[in-house]
C-alpha cells in the first residue's frame, strides 16, 4: 500500500499526524538503473557500481583501440607523442614509478603488443561521471599497467602481458587484459616467479573453459588458497587446490547457478589454516551437502545461506549441518550465527529446536522473534550475529517459550506468526521484530542479486521463506495495515511488541513512524521502539521471567560501553487517540 493511500484512507493514522505531503516522507529507494540502452550503446556490465548520489549526468563513451604501428620503444614513444598526447604526458609524469617496475621500454612494447594483438577491432564502452576527464583506452591502459606493474621483473611482466591478452581473447572480455596484473596486488609472487605466472594463467584459462568467464574465482579466494597451501612444491599444491575449487564450483553451478560466486566467496573461510591435497574437495562437499539439504527443503535464496556461513570458519562440521538444517526446516533460518554466542555454541539453537515440541515449555507463554533475512547479504558480516541480539533472545527463554523465524516480506510475517500459533497452540504474549530499519519501515529482503536484475528476469519468489515479487513487498512500512490485520488474531490483546530496528520510534507521538503504525495495527498491545539508531537492548523482567521494560542502547565502534538512548513506548486503543506511555 502506498503512503498516499495510507494517509488518505486510514482515518486512525491520518488523525495522528498529517505530513505536508506523502512525497516528503523519506524512503530507501532502489538504485536507478540505466538500461537497457543509454545513448546508442548498451550499458556496460557493472554499471550499478558507477551510479551514486551526486554524480550526474552520465555519458556512455565509445572507445576503440588504435594499433601502435611499431615494436621499437623509441618509435612507439614518438608515435604516442603525436597521436596520444595525454598518454605521453602520463609517461613523463610516471617516470619514477616506471623505474621501479620492468622499465619504460618494456612497458611501451607491452602497450604495442596489446594493440597489435587486438588489431583495433575491440570496442569498449565506459561510464564517464560528471566532469571526469574523458580518457582514451590507451591512456587508461597505461595508467593501470604502470600501477599494477610496480615491482615486476621484466620476464614476469612480459609473460603476464602475453597471458593476459590470450585470456582476454578466450573470454571475450577486454578487462581481462589486466586480470592477472590485478592479482599481483594480492599475490606478490607473480612479480618475481615466472612459473607462478604460468600457474595462474592455467587456472584462469580453465575457468574460461568451464564457465566462459574468468571472474568465477575472485582474486582474494586465490590468495586465501595460496596462503593455506604447503610451502613444499607450493606452485603445484596451489594449482591443485585451485582446480579442486573450480570442480566444486562446477557442481555448485549445477545445483544453482546463482550461488556459484557465493560458494567461491564462502569456501575459503571453511578451510583449515594449512591444507593438503583433497582438503578443498572435502570442505566443498560438506558445504554443498548443506546447500542441497536447504534446496530440498524449498529454500530459494541459497546465496543468503552461503553468506551466513562465513562466520563459521573451521567449525562448519556435521553437527552444525544437522542443527542448521533443522532450524531451516522449522523456521526458515539460514543466519544461524544470530542464535549463537560464539562458534560452536548451540545453547539457544537447541532451546529453539526443543520448542518445536508442543509438550516442551507448554506452561510458558509464547514469544515470537521475527528476524529479517536482510543483513548479511549486503554487509561483510550480519550485524545481528554473535552480539547483543543473541543476549536479548536468550534472556527471553527464562520466562517464555521462544520461537525464532526469518522473514523477507510482508506476507512472510503473516506466515511466520500463523506458523508459530499452529506449532504452539497459543497466541503470542510477546513479539520481537528485528531488522535494519528507519522511522518509516524495516527492510526485510533487500537483495543485491535481485535489485540489479530486470523485473522479468527475477526468478526467486515464494519458497521456504517468502520474498514477495517487488521491493514494496520486502519493505515492512508504516502503510502496511493489512499485515497487522493478518496477525492480530494470533497475538494476545495485552501482548508486548519490541521493534528491534533503528529509529522506528523516531518522532514519538507527533510523527508517522513504525511504532505508531504498529500500535494502531495491534491496538491494546504495548510497543517499544528506539528513537534513534541502536545496536542493542537491555530487557528487564519480573521474578517469573516476564518482560517489564525495554531500554535500547547504542555503541559506536570507538566506544567501549553502550549508552542508553531514547525508548518510545506507545499503546493505542484502536481509535484516533494515542496513549503515550513515556
pLDDT along the chain (582 residues), means of 10: 32 30 29 28 42 44 71 92 88 79 88 84 51 65 85 92 93 86 86 94 95 86 88 88 95 89 87 87 92 90 79 74 94 89 91 97 97 58 66 95 91 91 96 89 61 44 64 72 86 95 89 87 92 90 96 74 86 59 52
Q: What is the DSSP letter of 439?
A: T
Q: What are the CB-based long-range contacts (under 8 Å, 24+) for 235-243?
A: 235/193, 235/195, 235/196, 235/199, 237/276, 237/277, 238/199, 239/199, 239/202, 239/203, 240/277, 241/275, 241/277, 241/279, 241/280, 242/203, 242/217, 243/203, 243/206
Which pLDDT score is estimated for 576? 42
Residue indicated by cell numbers 593476459:
164
pLDDT digits (tens, 9 = 90+) for 200-215: 999 999 999 999 989 8
HEC profile of 107-140:
HHHHHHHHHHHHCCCCEEEEEEECCCCCCCHHHH
Which pLDDT score is estimated for 285? 92
pLDDT digits (tens, 9 = 90+) for 53-108: 433 444 555 456 778 888 899 999 999 999 888 888 888 888 777 777 888 899 89
Distance (Å, whole) CA 518 – CA 435 = 15
Supply the DSSP string of 188-243, one letter for each residue: GGGGT-HHHHHHHHHHHHHHHHHHS-S-SS-HHHHHHHHHHB-STTHHHHHHHHHH
Q: Which of 495, 537, 544 is nearest to 518 (CA)?
A: 495
Distance (Å, whole) CA 520 – CA 573 = 8
Reading the block at residue 404, the C-alpha cell is: 525464532
pLDDT digits (tens, 9 = 90+) for 491-539: 999 999 999 998 999 988 888 888 888 888 898 899 999 999 888 889 9
Distance (Å, whole) CA 440 – CA 513 = 5
Distance (Å, whole) CA 72 – CA 9 = 77
Amino acid at each position: 500500500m502506498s503512503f498516499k493511500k495510507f494517509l488518505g484512507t486510514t482515518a486512525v493514522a491520518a488523525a495522528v499526524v498529517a505530513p505536508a505531503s506523502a512525497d516528503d516522507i523519506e524512503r530507501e529507494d532502489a538504485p536507478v538503473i540505466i538500461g537497457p540502452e543509454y545513448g546508442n550503446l548498451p550499458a556496460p556490465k557493472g554499471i550499478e557500481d558507477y551510479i551514486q548520489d551526486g554524480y550526474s549526468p552520465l555519458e556512455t563513451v565509445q572507445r576503440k583501440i588504435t594499433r601502435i604501428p611499431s615494436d621499437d620503444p623509441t618509435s612507439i614513444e614518438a608515435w604516442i607523442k603525436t597521436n596520444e598526447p595525454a598518454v605521453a604526458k602520463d609517461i613523463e609524469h610516471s617516470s619514477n614509478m616506471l623505474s621501479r617496475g620492468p622499465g619504460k621500454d618494456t612497458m611501451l612494447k607491452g602497450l604495442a603488443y596489446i594493440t597489435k594483438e587486438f588489431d583495433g577491432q575491440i570496442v569498449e564502452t565506459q561510464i564517464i561521471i560528471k566532469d571526469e576527464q574523458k580518457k582514451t583506452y590507451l591512456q587508461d591502459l597505461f595508467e593501470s599497467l604502470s600501477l599494477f606493474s610496480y615491482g615486476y621483473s621484466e620476464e614476469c611482466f612480459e609473460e603476464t602481458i602475453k597471458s593476459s591478452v590470450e585470456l582476454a581473447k578466450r573470454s571475450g572480455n577486454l578487462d581481462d587484459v589486466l586480470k592477472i596484473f590485478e592479482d599481483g596486488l594480492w599475490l606478490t609472487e607473480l612479480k618475481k616467479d615466472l612459473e607462478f605466472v604460468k600457474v595462474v594463467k592455467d587456472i584462469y584459462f580453465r575457468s574460461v573453459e568451464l564457465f566462459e568467464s574468468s571472474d568465477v574465482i575472485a582474486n582474494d579466494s586465490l590468495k586465501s588458497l595460496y596462503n593455506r597451501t604447503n610451502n613444499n612444491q607450493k606452485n603445484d599444491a596451489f594449482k591443485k587446490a585451485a582446480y579442486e575449487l573450480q570442480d566444486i564450483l562446477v557442481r555448485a553451478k549445477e545445483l544453482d547457478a546463482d550461488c556459484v560466486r557465493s560458494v567461491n566467496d564462502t569456501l575459503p573461510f571453511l578451510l583449515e589454516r594449512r591444507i593438503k591435497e583433497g582438503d578443498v574437495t572435502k570442505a566443498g562437499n560438506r558445504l554443498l551437502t548443506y546447500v542441497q539439504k536447504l534446496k530440498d527443503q524449498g529454500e530459494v535464496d541459497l546465496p543468503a545461506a552461503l553468506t551466513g556461513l562465513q562466520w563459521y570458519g573451521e567449525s562448519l562440521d556435521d553437527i552444525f549441518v544437522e542443527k542448521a538444517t533443522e532450524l531451516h526446516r522449522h523456521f526458515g533460518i539460514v543466519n544461524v550465527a544470530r542464535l549463537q554466542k560464539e562458534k560452536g555454541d548451540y545453547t539457544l539453537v537447541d532451546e529453539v529446536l526443543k520448542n518445536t515440541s508442543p509438550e516442551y515449555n507448554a506452561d510458558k507463554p509464547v514469544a515470537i522473534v521475527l528476524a529479517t533475512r536482510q543483513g548479511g547479504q549486503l554487509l561483510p558480516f550480519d550485524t545481528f550475529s554473535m552480539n547483543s541480539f543473541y543476549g536479548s533472545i536468550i534472556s527471553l527463554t527464562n520466562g517464555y517459550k521462544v520461537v525464532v523465524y526469518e522473514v523477507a516480506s510482508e506476507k512472510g510475517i503473516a506466515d511466520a506468526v500463523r506458523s508459530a500459533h499452529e506449532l504452539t497452540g497459543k497466541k503470542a504474549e510477546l513479539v520481537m521484530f528485528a531488522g535494519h530499519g528507519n522511522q518509516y519501515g524495516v527492510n526485510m529482503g533487500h537483495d543485491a542479486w535481485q535489485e540489479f536484475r530486470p523485473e522479468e528476469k527475477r526468478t526467486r519468489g515464494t519458497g521456504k521463506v517468502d520474498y514477495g515479487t517487488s521491493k514494496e513487498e520486502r519493505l515492512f512500512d508504516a502503510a502496511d495495515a493489512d499485515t497487522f490485520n493478518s496477525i492480530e488474531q494470533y497475538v494476545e490483546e495485552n501482548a508486548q511488541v519490541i521493534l528491534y530496528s533503528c529509529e522506528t520510534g523516531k518522532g514519538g507521538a507527533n510523527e508517522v513512524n513504525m511504532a505508531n503504525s504498529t500500535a494502531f495495527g495491534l491496538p491494546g498491545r504495548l510497543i517499544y521502539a528506539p528513537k534513534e539508531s541502536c545496536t542493542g537492548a537491555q530487557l528487564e523482567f519480573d521474578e517469573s521471567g516476564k518482560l517489564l521494560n525495554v531500554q535500547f542502547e547504542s555503541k559506536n565502534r570507538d566506544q567501549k560501553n553502550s549508552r542508553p538512548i531514547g525508548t518510545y513506548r506507545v499503546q493505542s486503543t484502536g481509535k484516533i487517540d494515542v496513549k503515550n506511555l513515556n
